[in-house]
Structure 1
Amino acid sequence: MNQQLIAFLAYLSPSLFVITALTSWYQAGLRPTAVKKLGMISSFFGILSSLILAYAVYQQDLIEISTFSIYGLGLSLRLDTVSMLMFSMIAILSFVIMRYSLNYLDGDHRQGTFLGRLAATIVSVQFLVLSGNLAVLLASWILTSLCLHRLLVFYKKRPGAIIAAKKKSIVARLADISLLIGFVLLYQIFGTGNLEIIFQNVREGISPLLATATIFIALAALLKSAQFPTHGWLLEVMETPTPVSSLLHAGLLNAGPFLIIRLAFIMEATSTASTLLIILGAFTAIYGSVVYLTQTSIKTALGYSSIAHMGFSLMVCGLGVYPAAMLHLIAHSFYKAHSFLSSGSVIDLIRAAKVTGAKRIGNPFKIILGILLAIAMYSSFAYLWGVDIQNEFQLFVIGGIIVLGLSRLFSFALDSNASIKLWFQALVLSAVVALAFFSLESIFHFFLMGNVPELTIPSLSEVILMSTVLTLFGLVVFIQIFSPILNQKSSFQALAVHIRNGLYINVVFDRIVRAHYHKEDSNSRIVLEEAEIGKYILDSKENNNEEQEERLA
């Protein structure tokens, strides 16, 4: 395929989204017809371009598009399997989210402004995944945060939105500084920002500064993806329109794992950063998943779910199983986009339905039987797929965590007053999950072969660390499985209250960054906010009275 045509297609969708964002300046209010049409056209060509470019990458394996370069830094794009998987995912999600926004904000007096800011954010994410140079990667990394900030403060009069945006801004600047330091060190080591040249040189030799650079890159990824203890802002961004939550959880949060996957050859050169990712990622995954189970608000629960999944993805990156990390990243994006866009419908369905779930019995024998069934099923699939524990211990650990999830499913089905139908459904669902994991991981491994490092035999210290992580996951899951027995204890009930509040980590973080502090006169601000709240309550009462009068009439 012609190189100029490939370059045109690569820049086509981002350019159209830029035009959409600029057009929103002139149609910022109601009925922004041109902005709507341009947004949908941009999304459509994004999908079309991704399909054609994916075919070109299939033919040529690696395509570099360099527009200009000064001292090894400049505007260049890198098209390979990693970037095309991400670009295709973003193209599909942007089409769905843009289409959803047309109806969701129809009638809003600033709909044009919102669509323009949404388009600008999509452009920054597109350039992030297509980056072929450290300069483009850093610039798009910063732009994603700035564009997201404009979306978070879309409703400026909502104090909750302002607080969340302030906290996000602080964490984002720390991530930007960390990535800047890491890239400066990389540039000093290799003398260029071209990713392909850096990857080739890393394979030939390792510099003492490289370990320091990878640590700062890992910190940037951890901060970007709302990892413990800087995760609190993600739980408070619900004041923004739902499409923002969908784009944030399905796209922008993935920047952390994507950064590690994109720079996988650099990260694999040293073990220090990988250890950091394993420890913090695993702890965040356990923390987020435990707190998630105690939440009563559907969007807060989805927030903790994202925190846990990002932690799990970064842990998998630290383990070096990059195909599995990419698999979880893409799966999480589509799942979370659907979850947020359909959250309102789910609430309506739950309110309308009258479901009586199966009750747990608390029989230790049946619980242990469920755990043994899960281990047997996983061992069977691992044997069929030829997983070598000695040479693929990292993959075995990830699979072990999957087993823990299956054991919870089996134990719930067996240790309940449910019918045989539920047992059969649990068996089928567990088989589908295990089959999907092994099959899709193999498929992603095939596609990403040569684009990410292969698995290496871990050292003794790494085996101990991974075994410890697996043990901690197992301990948490076993506590959940035996919860019917533990629920009777008052100490367990008291602990559940603290867990529901996230162990108050977000409160501590608020105090550290002074999230609730404003330079304006606090007294006048409080009076203004109380007046607005009072006016809102009175208006609501009047509307309710009017509705009641109409019904009586």
Structure 2
Amino acid sequence: MQTNLISLFPALAPLILYALSLILLLKVAKPKRGVIESFGWLGIVIAVTSACLTWYLGTTQSVLLGFSDLGFSLRLDALSMTLFVMIALLAFVILKFSINYLDGDSRHHIFVSRLAATIASVELLVLSGNLFQLFIFWIITSVCLHYLLTFYRTRPQAIAAARKKYIVARIGDICLGIAFALIFFQFGTGDLQSIFDQLATFTTLNSTLTTAAVLLVIAAVLKSAQFPTHGWLIEVVETPTPVSALLHAGLLNAGPFLMVRFAFLMQLSEAASLVLIIIAGFTALFASVVYLTQPTIKVSLGYSSVAHMGFSLLMCGFGVYSAAILHLVAHSFYKANSFLSSGSVVEVVKAKKVVTPNRLGSIPRILLGVIFSLGIYALFCYWWGLDPVNEFSLMAVGAIIALGVSQLIVTTIDSKGSLSAILQSGVMVFIVSLAFFSLEKGAHVLLASQVPVYTAPSLLIKGVIITTLVLFGSVVFIQLISPALKSGSFGYRLGVHLRNGLYANVIFDRMIGALKNDKFKWANLTVEAEENNEGVNEYAQENGELIYKSQTISNQ
């Protein structure tokens, strides 16, 4: 790996955003569309140019500003450049959206200032070339997010969410700090490339590095809002929409990024992989089911993010790191668009009548749809020449994708839809499968130098992967045949419990006193109390966005 001064070039992007943040904070200038867009475009140009330089020069690293391989250094490789370009694009869109958002608010400049500082910190996080910088900006991004979540201090539910996030983040910081300390003392260096070079000579890990790997998993799980600490993410819909977009599309990705960055260490730790598969797999399954029961768009998007992060971390546990990054990038753009357009989507749905086909509940038709999807999946496995031994994990991920897209074809086959509708669904299944296998292949080629090659998983890991496949397949099949099942009291009760997220968030609320503290009284009002104007919620629809106006809680 080369050490090159030109590797400092990407630092211009976060420095520009920090400068923008400082200018707005000091009220030197007001947030103006032309200025913000210029900063955003400049960030994109810097990111794309840096990516081109990395493509031409290969992996490079800047000169260290520090000592003992700890300090400030930028690492330019395929992984950091992929996420750097993604963040720059998202930053442009979110900052541009924020110009009109809250326009007229007396604290508009503070909001955009905090947003710019947060984005800059995330960029320096993914560009980190050593343990110290990675750890420092891991904490800074969390602190910046906290100030964004508490932008409206008169919203008790937002404060409750921020408090839970703060507790979870600090636990994660401790785990990450201990893990990095163990790694530093084990290898005698904080430089990432030196650590990776030494890991290449390892076949197994000692107890110290195994402990470090497990702690890294815990830090990633806590950062990405995995069960049972996911509740804060569901409640941050109280914050301004650009914050939700940045959080769900960017900051949550720190967990999977950490796993992929230390993929060479994770690959050697069976214990860490098991912990990651169990926690992330359950979270992905749990959040996917709960997501379907939510009546509000932003809460459902929140559970969707929890599920997506779980699935990305699950792929890391399987050892399919390139697919995890592919999924992470796709989810980021999709989720940013979903949150920024959530208000207008509600208006569109209200204005149009959405027609869905009536399901027949025919088991043979349902099985035919599932077989069709799995057949397409098997066809692509054959075309791409996947090795069932060394690429078993990738095939497992592909099977989960195939089970998911089977709902597209089953919905039309198991209905009175026309032949053209069935053909269209079949084409959609084919395109989704083609996209996954093709893009995953491209991602693996792109990230080849930064992730381990596919190897046959151990017998224990393979057994856990098969168990995960069975669980996912069972849940999908139950969902597919649900129209044929009679709804009874059990199904109704289960639906109520799922809508409330199995009450995991309530337990966390009790732990921080959110259910009894007067500060959080607003969150505990009944519907009747709100209708009698005894609460603090006054909803107003403006520009397609739901704005919450807080009032003082009246004395009882």
Question: Shorter-normalised TM-score: what interval?
Answer: over 0.9
Amino acid at match of 1:64: Q
* Aligned-partner Cα distance in 1 for 2:486–2:117: 49
Is the 8 Å Cα contact of residues 17 and 38 (structure 1) preserved in structure 2? no
Amino acid at match of 1:302: L
Q: Tell me the SS of whatever aligns to 2:65.
A: strand
Counterpart residue number, 1:332: 331
Is the 8 Å Cα contact of residues 47 and 91 (structure 1) preserved in structure 2? yes
More helix by share: 1
Counterpart residue number, 2:201: 204
Query: Which stretch has the larger CA shift, 337-346 or 59-68?
Result: 59-68
Q: CA RMSD in A?
A: 2.3
Displacement, 1:521? 12
Quick one: structure 1 residues 403 and 42, their matched pair in 2 at CA, closer, same or farther if it must change by over 3 Å? same
Counterpart residue number, 2:548: none
Quick one: structure 1 residues 232 and 461, their matched pair in 2 at CA, closer, same or farther if it must change by over 3 Å? same
* Aligned-partner Cα distance in 2 for 1:330–1:499: 29
Q: In the alignment, does 2:230 pair up with 1:231?
A: yes
Quick one: structure 1 residues 123 and 260, their matched pair in 2 at CA, closer, same or farther if it must change by over 3 Å? same
* Aligned-partner Cα distance in 2 for 1:255–1:444: 18
| Cα deviations by residue, 1:133-154 (Å, 9 ceiling, x for unpaired) | 1000000000111000000010
Counterpart residue number, 2:20: 20
Amino acid at match of 1:112: H
TM-score by length of 1: 0.92
2:179 to 179, 182, 202: 182
Is the 8 Å Cα contact of residues 114 and 151 (structure 1) preserved in structure 2? yes
* Aligned-partner Cα distance in 1 for 2:199–2:61: 19
Displacement, 1:456? 1.1
| Alignment map for 1:153-552 (pairs within 5 Å) | 153-205=150-202, 206-516=205-515, 518=517
Is the 8 Å Cα contact of residues 3 and 62 (structure 2) preserved in structure 1? no
Displacement, 1:376? 1.0
Is the 8 Å Cα contact of residues 156 and 162 (structure 1) preserved in structure 2? yes
* Aligned-partner Cα distance in 1 for 2:174–2:56: 38
* Aligned-partner Cα distance in 2 for 1:199–1:151: 35
Q: Tell me the SS of whatever aligns to 1:482.
A: helix
Displacement, 1:67? 3.9
Amino acid at match of 1:306: S
* Aligned-partner Cα distance in 2 for 1:319–1:495: 30
Amino acid at match of 2:201: E
Instruction: Identify unmatched segments of 5+ residues in structure 2.
Output: 541-556
Is the 8 Å Cα contact of residues 7 and 74 (structure 2) preserved in structure 1? no
Displacement, 1:69? 2.2
Moved over 6 A (4+): 519-523, 535-540
Is the 8 Å Cα contact of residues 248 and 336 (structure 2) preserved in structure 1? yes
Counterpart residue number, 1:551: none
Displacement, 1:511? 1.2
2:138 to 135, 138, 141: 141
* Aligned-partner Cα distance in 2 for 1:451–1:105: 41
| Cα deviations by residue, 1:309-329 (Å, 9 ceiling, x for unpaired) | 100000000111111001000
Q: In the alignment, does 2:50 pair up with 1:48?
A: no
What is the number of equivalent residue pairs in this alignment?
532
* Aligned-partner Cα distance in 2 for 1:119–1:34: 11
Amino acid at match of 2:506: V
Quick one: structure 1 residues 458 and 3, their matched pair in 2 at CA, closer, same or farther if it must change by over 3 Å? closer
Q: Tell me the SS of whatever aligns to 1:238.
A: helix
Quick one: structure 1 residues 473 and 535, their matched pair in 2 at CA, closer, same or farther if it must change by over 3 Å? closer
Displacement, 1:25? 2.0
Displacement, 1:490? 2.8
Q: In the alignment, does 2:96 pair up with 1:99?
A: yes
Counterpart residue number, 1:131: 128
Counterpart residue number, 1:11: 11
Instruction: Identify unmatched segments of 5+ residues in structure 1.
Output: 541-553
Displacement, 1:68? 1.3
Q: Tell me the SS of whatever aligns to 1:69.
A: strand
Q: Tell me the SS of whatever aligns to 1:91.
A: helix
* Aligned-partner Cα distance in 2 for 1:322–1:535: 48
Counterpart residue number, 2:106: 109
Displacement, 1:500? 1.2
Displacement, 1:300? 0.5
Displacement, 1:393? 0.5
Amino acid at match of 1:187: F
Displacement, 1:36? 5.5
* Aligned-partner Cα distance in 2 for 1:216–1:52: 35
Q: In the alignment, does 2:110 pair up with 1:118?
A: no
Counterpart residue number, 1:75: 72
Q: Tell me the SS of whatever aligns to 2:61.
A: strand
Identity value in percent: 48
| Cα deviations by residue, 1:172-227 (Å, 9 ceiling, x for unpaired) | 11111110110011111011110000001111234431000000010000000000
Is the 8 Å Cα contact of residues 17 and 39 (structure 1) preserved in structure 2? no
Displacement, 1:518? 4.6
Displacement, 1:39? 3.6
Amino acid at match of 1:142: I
Amino acid at match of 2:377: Y
Quick one: structure 1 residues 493 and 188, their matched pair in 2 at CA, closer, same or farther if it must change by over 3 Å? same
Displacement, 1:363? 0.8
| Cα deviations by residue, 1:119-143 (Å, 9 ceiling, x for unpaired) | 1100110011000010000000001
* Aligned-partner Cα distance in 2 for 1:483–1:235: 27
Is the 8 Å Cα contact of residues 156 and 520 (structure 2) preserved in structure 1? no
* Aligned-partner Cα distance in 2 for 1:215–1:360: 45
* Aligned-partner Cα distance in 2 for 1:503–1:521: 21
Query: Which stretch has the larger CA shift, 426-435 or 456-465?
Result: 456-465
Q: Tell me the SS of whatever aligns to 1:416.
A: coil
Is the 8 Å Cα contact of residues 10 and 50 (structure 2) preserved in structure 1? yes
Quick one: structure 1 residues 432 and 280, their matched pair in 2 at CA, closer, same or farther if it must change by over 3 Å? same
Is the 8 Å Cα contact of residues 39 and 119 (structure 1) preserved in structure 2? no
* Aligned-partner Cα distance in 2 for 1:537–1:447: 49
* Aligned-partner Cα distance in 2 for 1:163–1:417: 48
Is the 8 Å Cα contact of residues 77 and 132 (structure 1) preserved in structure 2? yes
TM-score by length of 2: 0.92
Quick one: structure 1 residues 3 and 37, their matched pair in 2 at CA, closer, same or farther if it must change by over 3 Å? farther
Is the 8 Å Cα contact of residues 18 and 123 (structure 1) preserved in structure 2? yes
Q: Tell me the SS of whatever aligns to 2:442.
A: helix
* Aligned-partner Cα distance in 2 for 1:124–1:460: 41
Q: Tell me the SS of whatever aligns to 1:504.
A: helix
Query: Which stretch has the larger CA shift, 297-306 or 485-494?
Result: 485-494
* Aligned-partner Cα distance in 2 for 1:489–1:454: 49
Q: Tell me the SS of whatever aligns to 2:63.
A: strand
Counterpart residue number, 2:546: none
Displacement, 1:538? 9.7
* Aligned-partner Cα distance in 2 for 1:349–1:484: 28
Q: Tell me the SS of whatever aligns to 2:443.
A: helix
| Cα deviations by residue, 1:291-323 (Å, 9 ceiling, x for unpaired) | 001111010100000000100000000111111
Counterpart residue number, 1:546: none
